[in-house]
Every structure is written in C-alpha cells, then in structure tokens.
Amino acid sequence: MILDKLKRLVRRAYSASEDSYKYDGLFSYKSETHAFTWGLGFGLALVLAYQFMPGLVEPVGSSLAALLAYAYSDRRQKAKGAQVPDYVWKQSSQEPHYLAGGVVLGLLLGAIVVFGLPVLAVVA
C-alpha cells in the first residue's frame, strides 16, 4: 500500500508534463522536481563549501547566481564560464520558483548541519 503510493508519487513527479496526470500541485512533473533538487544541491554545496572548502565558494556561488539570474530573466542568456549543464539551465528557467525554494531550503539545511549540530553536541 505505502509502496504503491510511493511509486505513484515518483511516477507523477517525473512525468513529462503537468498534463500527464490530474494532479496539478507541488512537484507535479519533472521540471519542478529537478529545479527544486538543483536548487537544494546548490544551497547545500554553498554552505558546505563555505565551511569546509573556502576555495569552492566563489565558483559554486557564481554558478548559482548565474543560474538564478538566467531563470528569472526575460532575456535567456547563459553566463559564460558558469559550470552548469544545459539541461539544468532549461529546467531551472521553466520553474524558477522551485529552484529558488530549493536554494533556500538547501541553505537552511546546510546551516543546521554545519552550525547547529556542533552546538547540540556541546550542549548535550
């Protein structure tokens, strides 16, 4: 029963378009799911790079900034030098709000892991 629901959820989240299923809400097709996942990954990577690999903050941050600017821009021009695959540009521009939401959640989760867990370890 739970496995069947999970299979339906995954099938719907990775469908080609929103018209594939009756459901039209959060994560209703693959571009929404992928844009959110990319944003989450970039947000986490930025916090983790800040804490553990400061040399990666600039490339990760500039790629993220370029991707967000592209996604929200009317003039869709990819930034030169940004290390982002073409399909990420496309999916992010289709669903920029999911990308931004993923970035915010990734930054929050990264901050909790990097800064919150050591505090809890000291308190406990």
The count of domains in the chain is 1
- For residue 61, is it within any domain? yes
Structure confidence at residue 56 (pLDDT): 85
105 band by pLDDT with thresholds 50, 70 and 90: very high
Q: Is residue 83 part of a domain?
A: yes
> Looking at the domain assignment, is residue 95 inside a domain?
yes
Whether 13 maps to a domain, the answer reads: no
Residue 11 maps to a domain = no
Q: pLDDT at residue 76 above 70?
A: no
Q: What is the 3-state secondary structure (H, E, C) of 21-41?
A: CCCCCCCCCHHHHHHHHHHHH
Answer whether residue 7 is part of any domain: no
Mean of pLDDT over the chain: 77
Residue range 71-83: average pLDDT?
A: 64
pLDDT at 106: 93
pTM greater than 0.75: no
- Mean pLDDT calculated for residue range 60-68: 84
**Does any domain span residue 23?**
no
- Residue 30: CB partners within 8 Å, gap ≥ 6? 13, 14, 15, 16, 91
Is the model's pLDDT at 101 over the cut of 80? yes
Domain that holds residue 63: 29-123
88 inside domain: yes
Written as six digits, the tokens of 20 are 């594939």
| Whole-number pLDDT of residue 17 | 60
